[in-house]
């Protein structure tokens, strides 16, 4: 089954760019989310921290 998929993917021109694009998108999202969390103020983080405990 894997060789069937691999055979079809190798026949597509330019397919090697898609893993690189997905890595860049993931890395950008992760870095952006990390920066957002670090830059948020303490009150916002404390409010979000209490969400699971509220009814």
Distance CA 34, CA 39 (A): 9
Q: What pTM was computed for the model?
A: 0.60
pLDDT at 4: 79
pLDDT surpasses 70 at 55: no
Question: What percent of the chain clears pLDDT 90, i.e. is strictly above it?
Answer: 38
Question: What percent of the chain clears pLDDT 70, i.e. is strictly above it?
Answer: 96
pLDDT at 25: 98
pLDDT at 27: 97
CA distances from 26 to 4, 22, 23 (A): 28, 6, 5
């Amino acid at each position: 089954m894997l060789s069937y998929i691999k055979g079809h993917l190798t026949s597509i021109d330019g397919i090697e760019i898609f893993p690189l694009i997905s890595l860049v998108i993931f890395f950008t999202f992760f870095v952006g989310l990390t920066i957002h969390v670090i830059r948020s103020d303490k009150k916002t983080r404390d409010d979000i921290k209490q969400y699971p405990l509220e009814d």
